[in-house]
Chains A and B, each alone.
Chain A
Amino acid sequence: MIELSHIERIFHVGDQQVHALRAVDLSIARGEYTSIMGPSGSGKSTLLNIVGLLDRPDSGTYQLDGADVTSLSEEQHAHTRRDKIGFVFQSFHLVSRLTAAENVELPMMLAGIEPAARKPRVQQALQAMGLENRAHHKPEQLSGGQRQRVAIARATIMQPAVLLADEPTGNLDRASGLDVIAVLESLVEKGMAVVVVTHDPFIGERARRQIRMEDGRVVSDRTTTPPLREPLFGN
């Protein structure tokens, strides 16, 4: 589904060039559970941004669902993001003045979906996250774990093919972090491709496919045979 070939990304910091990605080749299949690990500055977030069409590579090609998306316009990128890609961030990025339900509704609102069609989907998504009685709470009234689950509900409301999570547990304590991982793994079970960027080996090693990056290169890429671990909380 995702085919990256010879992706290069160079940042200019002052008069210095930083090679964030060097000739990265990567393909991710539909429904795959992938983790990307590596030290800071190894290019894992940059890779995730390019996969998520938030950033453009300086060279190389990117095929998504068999179509070359490297040369699409800004607007086409936005629409592709909206329809095919979900994002989960370390700092949740919930809109603080909107309620949990309104945050989840946001992508559908941007897509121009009928209000009548939006409500049941929001309700269903919140229910799946166990947040049905938090629907009208503002983000500041929610715990960190709850916030990230709202963010996941928002990221998956458009039923994207792939969910990109950048340090999804980075701002959470252990228990809520495991909670969030359990939610992500349940999405994998339903057939969604999930890519998790993390520092945390405990989380990274739960993924079936584990990619290690260093200095802008993929240094190891191994796929373990399932089941690697017991599912968390037995779900």
Chain B
Amino acid sequence: MRIADILRFSVNTVRGNRARTVLMLFAMAIGVAAVVVLTALGEGARRYVTSEFSALGSHLLIVLPGRSETAGVGPSMFVAQTPRDLTIDDALALRRIAYVQRIAPLNVGSAAVSYLQRSREVPVIGTTSEWLEIRKWVMDQGQFLPPEDPTTALAVCVLGGKVRNELFGAQPALGEWVRIGDRRFRVVGVLGGQGRSIGMDVDDMVMIPVASAQALLNSSSLFRIFVETRSREELSLAQESIVKTLAARHQGEQDVTVIAQDAVLATFDKIFNALTYTVAGIASISLAVAGILIMNVMLVAVSQRTAEIGLLKALGAPQQQILRLFLSEAMLLSIFGATFGLALGALGVWGIGLVYPALPVQPPLWAVTAAVGVAVGAGLLFGVLPARRAARMDAVQALSRR
């Protein structure tokens, strides 16, 4: 029998039984669509987080005081015991390393910021002018901190958008003097709204020169040093140099931890990939269910079409041919179902994209391929049993039915 004829015959059968066909297509389609949509969500979440971290810059190292065996974001990072402070001089020493392009020492505290009668308790970040380029933030008004010697405690500050609004309302803020803690600072700039950036609400903070922050917070220790290398390739070289340089400065003791932004990213990547695989696995259960449904429907079809099978045998169709006819029917249904499911999934993904524009939802290629593969495979696998039952039917008994 010709392949074209087998296909034509199967299409004819499938079309001849609308309700059954539509049901089966739906079952298959929902399975495939579930895989597509759920993996797209998982992948979207992964990409979202990745892009958030990439915004940090892909060749960034973070130096933190204290020795930590594990690199990652956790409470231990913040409570690590510091035998020796990380100082501004340490930061300046790092700048002399060949691979380093920019550095930004960071000091974090909290203080009351007031203007006239209005006062707010906000996070205060002490850093240097290079911070802006390292984090790729944008200014809304004025300038960022001036590129002065980091050891100079200038009395200037940059406000987050929300802080500016709360203190100044509709009045201009640039050039005004605000009180932070017990010191006066002149407002030189207002940050643009970059939203949240890795746990920091950019809108709700005040930035001052790092030396001023040390004086204000009464601490000579730095919280972090952000180091941007010249290129991604030099990341590990730079990491080594940093550890060496600081050890040399700290009487040979390695008392700092240097984490690559990559390491954090890789961890998140792993977590979200695991998540995506999990949802794909759960969704593929529905594919298996659809496969069983195909088997069920095909079994019913075989018993409904007993007389036809008998006839085909009488007309000279060997078992193999009947097997092929029924298998191709099951395959056709699952292929159509998978196609329909892909369309449905694409629609779902598009819908999610509309609702959550920030989430870069897109099903990964492996998931789409696997979903279609499993759908067609299930059609084949679960089609074999009914097809074999049809092929092995006794011709005389089959013909005597009806």
Interface residues of A (CB under 8 A from B): 49, 52, 54-55, 74-75, 78-83, 87, 89, 91, 93, 95, 97-98, 106-107, 109-112, 115, 154, 158
Contact = CB atoms under 8 A, between A and B. Distances in A.
Chief secondary structure at chain A's binding surface: helix
B318 A89 contact: no
Nearest to B317: A110
B314 interface: yes
Contacts of B245: none
A95 B395 contact: no
Contact-residue size bin, chain B (C-beta under 8 Å from the other chain): 20 to 34
Chief secondary structure at chain B's binding surface: helix
Given A74-B319, A95-B308, A110-B1, A54 B313 contact: yes
B318 to A, nearest CB: 4
5 contacts: A89-B399, A97-B16, A109-B1, A110-B315, A158-B316
Interface in B319-362: 319-321
A204 B192 CA distance: 102
Contacts of B96: none
B312 interface: yes
In the complex, which of the residues B4, B307, B316, B321 has the most CB atoms of chain A within 10 Å of its own CB atom? B316
B97 interface: no
A6 B317 CA distance: 28
A176 to B, nearest CB: 20
B402 interface: yes
A78 B316 contact: yes
A126 B49 CA distance: 71
Given A55-B396, A97-B16, A112-B2, A75 B316 contact: no
Interface in B371-402: 395-396, 399, 402
Nearest to A106: B315
Nearest to B316: A82
Contacts of B9: 109
Contacts of A81: 313-316
Contacts of A49: 396
Contact of A98 (B1, B12, B307): B12
Nearest to A55: B396
Contacts of A91: 307, 402
A79 B318 contact: yes
A79 B321 CA distance: 11
A93 B310 contact: yes
B205 to A, nearest CB: 73
A74 B318 CA distance: 7
A80 to B, nearest CB: 8
Interface string B144-184: 00000000000000000000000000000000000000000
A112 B316 contact: no
B316 A79 contact: yes
- 8 cross-chain pairs, A with B, having the tightest CB-CB distances, nearest first: A82-B316, A97-B16, A78-B318, A75-B318, A54-B395, A81-B316, A93-B311, A87-B314
